[in-house]
Amino acid sequence: MSAPAFAQASLDLKECLGLPDTSARLACYDRLAGREAMVTLPASPAAVPGTPEAVPVSQAATPATTQQSESSFMSRYWELDQADKRGTFNYTSYRPNFFMPLHSMASVNRNPSSPTRAKASNLPRYQNGEAKIQVSLRSKVWENALLPGADLWVAYTQQSMWQLWNRDQSAPFRSTDYQPEVIYVVPTPASWQSLPLGWKWRMTQAGIVHQSNGQPDPLSRSWNRVYAQAGLERRDLMFNLRLEHRLKTDNSVGDDNPDIQDYMKRAELQMMWTPGRSTAAVAWRPSFSGKGSVQLDYSYPVFRDRPDGLRWYAQLFQGYGETLLDYNFKQTSLSLGLTIFKF
């Protein structure tokens, strides 16, 4: 879903001190030490900035409030509960922000094309090894918008493939994709959240996304789409189901890539797992035709005592659409590097 990294904001020390139960207080200290410091997600995001306002001690001692505050990653990331609201125009990370100098591809797309665009010619002699860079930010622009607790967000993600090691061709950027979007997030009322096997339906999202690569013909690629997404949560597991619909252009001649959804498909399933300091995620765009894609992400802190800081980052991709230019080119790639910042 956005291939979305969730982050667990650190609890205030006073909140931990205010917990009367010993086991709950120790668990709170564990989280403060970093067990829940960061949750990655391909369709979404790196870390949440800062620390939300601490829950008053009188509320922290209430079992229902403590359970909700301790267990809900999604609430802290998307500010679903009123205790997690932080106001508007506070810029924060959205998708993972990383620099991966090792991005190895099984093959490189040397002749990108689409049904309405000719094959490109006179391209640089691209190598199979390059660097992958992503920067992604978001900001809430309207709090409690239209529905109780609902918020309106804007976000921007930029991903680049840089032929860093290709000195013969002066290390060109092979591809850069630009993706602004608007996201409407509605928290699920408490009475509707409970699901079988301990899962909770935490939120529903609706969004509109533009994605383009800013290239002239014949390399121009772009599309607009709307989506609806449901977010579920169970302790250190999170699951998102996302359905997308492409907004078509006025005519096929003006469409850079009329068949893009045949390759990118119309749904994405995301599963996130946060076992201690590690984070793991899988994003699957299912298809019965052999198209679609699957992406695996994993991160671990460089310094064990600073899990909220610099992190090792690994990503494995297989399928179609790693970049817009390669939307109809099947790719297998492995990327290794670091998260570059989060806030």
Alpha carbon 126 to its chain centroid, in Å, reads 28
Contact 164, 101 (CB under 8 A): yes
Contact 202, 75 (CB under 8 A): yes
Short-list 336, 339, 283, 271, CA closest to 307:
339
- Looking up tokens 């610099």 gives 310
What does the alpha-carbon distance between residue 5 and residue 306 come to, in Å, rounded to a whole number?
18
Question: What are the angstrom distances between the C-alpha of 81 and each of 7, 20, 55, 111, 207?
Answer: 15, 23, 12, 49, 20
Segment holding 261, helix H or strand E: helix 260-264
Q: Which one is catalytic: 71, 113, 160, 210?
A: 210
Measure CA of the first residue to CA of the last residue in the chain; give whole Å.
Answer: 21
Q: Which one is catalytic: 71, 212, 220, 287?
A: 212
> φ and ψ at 219, to 5 degrees?
-95, 0
71 belongs to the catalytic site? no
What does the alpha-carbon distance between residue 335 and residue 331 come to, in Å, rounded to a whole number?
13
- Cβ neighbors of 277 (< 8 A, separation 6 or more) are 34, 35, 37, 300, 301, 304, 307
What does the alpha-carbon distance between residue 119 and residue 24 come to, in Å, rounded to a whole number?
61
Contact 277, 34 (CB under 8 A): yes
210 belongs to the catalytic site? yes
Q: What is the dihedral of CA 341, 229, 333, 124, to 10 degrees?
A: -80
Q: Which amino acid is at 63?
A: P
Its sign, for the CA torsion 249, 250, 252, 254, is negative
Catalytic residues, which ones?
210, 212
